[in-house]
Amino acid sequence: MARYTKDSIDRVKDALDMVQLVGARSDLRRSGSRWMGLCPFHDEHTPSFSVDADQGLYHCFGCGAAGDAIRFVEATEGLDFPGAVEMLADRYGVELQREDEDPQAEARRRRRERLLQLVERTATYYERYLWESTEAARAREYLSGRGLGEEVLRAFRIGYAPSAWDRVSLAAQRDGFRTDELAAAGLAQPGRRGGFYDRFRGRIMFPLADARGRVLGFGARSVTEGQRPKYINTAENSLYHKGRQLFGIDRARGAAAKKGRIVAVEGYTDVLALHQGGLVESVAIMGTALTQEQLAELSRAAGSLYLALDADSAGQEAMLRAARGARERKVELKVVAMPQGTDPAELVAGDGADAFEELLSGAVSVPEFEVRRVISSAELSEPEARDRAVAEVAQIVQPLDANSVLRDHLIRLAADKLNVPSENLHA
């Protein structure tokens, strides 16, 4: 964990505007020497949230939330202390000094900052190309056909990569970046006959940002018939690690912290559709394999995780693996039952965001998901299969508190569906 000098942190606090910072989350009005507004940490109708601009402090008389600007960013953005300091330093243009940083560490840090600048510049290039080029018309039609409006696409900085072999690389070199930096950032790769060519060509580009909003890499989707594979990502590098990324985490964490829940879905367009429909606490795991790193990031964002993967076999197996991982990390995980053959984007496009919200309200606990999965996959007409199902259910409910309502509910559910006495389900 990065450690910054006290002088650096003090300069960040001196540079920031507390009213502007908090005002992005609450409509503040001056009240004497202070500012008052509705608390961003709990629902209320009468303003009880006080900001002291001179002291750089806030306090809610309703829920007791209190602290300085760094604590405010930690709470609203789901960041740890160094992450909050870094976000504020970026926003207010303060250069941070690390404690006892050796020359090699400083060189690595400056190299990383250089690559971040390159990837950010490239994201802007792709974004402009989507909206300004005739070549990207097919991409715009595809996105519109998925029911996605310009507002949400611009908010997520969706872009398009030119089909030319080296247009992005040449533009970056004109801006002073080297080919080795393009390769290190996963934006270009060496050709067999020398030189470099763009990794992404003729594809819709989805910028993949960290929790602070820094673009680290890209997901890319083909829009041309026959272009394979359909999806590719930035190659693993010092900035980008696919197993750690959550598409939309930078835009979802504030709402997730306030609502106390975060919703994880599979794909980019699922997240875009949900945010467009008002479910802004949604992120994508970009596939079905929820990693331990992603699970850790999700648990930092909110107390409850709702997992809504496709109802096909791959999605169901992924949910089972995620359930086990969540149990190991003691994360409260709810499983959302998606209709067969429908993803969240299609559901929202056809039936509206309320239809997805209804599915969320019917989400079940991990043990119930496991029990229902055993029941649905069992061939109940065969006695041996029924016995195996009974044994599996008994194993699932055995770790639960003997006096818990959930345990009793699952035993009654399984006994009814498997047509066996409830006593048979006690391990």
Give the whole-angstrom CA distance, residue 149 versus residue 126: 18
Other C-beta atoms lying within 10 Å of the C-beta of residue 100: 7
Kindly indicate the confidence band of residue 268, based on its pLDDT and cuts at 50, 70 and 90. Answer: very high
Percent of the chain with pLDDT over 70: 98
Q: For residue 1, what pLDDT is reported?
A: 52
Q: Find out whether 114 and 141 touch, Cβ atoms under 8 Å.
A: no
> ∠ CA 368-373-375 to the nearest 5 degrees?
95
> ∠ CA 282-283-285 to the nearest 5 degrees?
145
Give the whole-angstrom CA distance, residue 125 versus residue 352: 33
For 112-128, how does the pLDDT look when each residue is reduced to its tens digit (9 = 90+)?
A: 999 999 999 999 999 99
Using the 8-state DSSP alphabet, how is residue 379 labeled? -
Q: Regarding the domain delimited by 106-146+160-238, which CATH topology (the fold level of the hierarchy) does it fall under?
A: DNA primase DNAg catalytic core, N-terminal domain (3.90.980)
Give the whole-angstrom CA distance, residue 212 versus residue 197: 30
Q: Which CATH class is domain 369-425?
A: mainly alpha
Task: Delimit the domains of the chain by residue range.
Answer: 6-92, 106-146+160-238, 249-362, 369-425
Give the whole-angstrom CA distance, residue 222 versus residue 229: 8
- Of 44, 50, 87, the closest CA to residue 65 belongs to 50
Q: Tell me the pLDDT of the chain averaged across its residues.
A: 90
Q: For residue 200, what pLDDT is reported?
A: 97
Q: For residue 225, what pLDDT is reported?
A: 80
Q: How would you classify the pairing of strands 203-209 and 159-161?
A: antiparallel
Phi and psi, residue 176, nearest 5°: 100, 5
Residue indicated by tokens 């002073």 = 176
- Of 155, 149, 147, 156, the closest CA to residue 351 belongs to 147
Q: Regarding the domain delimited by 6-92, which CATH topology (the fold level of the hierarchy) does it fall under?
A: DNA Primase; Chain A (3.90.580)
Give the whole-angstrom CA distance, residue 268 versus residue 245: 12
Kindly indicate the confidence band of residue 331, based on its pLDDT and cuts at 50, 70 and 90. Answer: confident
Kindly indicate the confidence band of residue 79, based on its pLDDT and cuts at 50, 70 and 90. Answer: confident
Could you tell me which residue, 212 or 12, shows the higher pLDDT?
12
H, E, C per residue of 408-424: HHHHHHHHHHHCCCHHH
Is the domain 249-362 a CATH 3.40.1360.10 member?
yes
Whether the pLDDT of residue 313 is over 70: the answer is: no
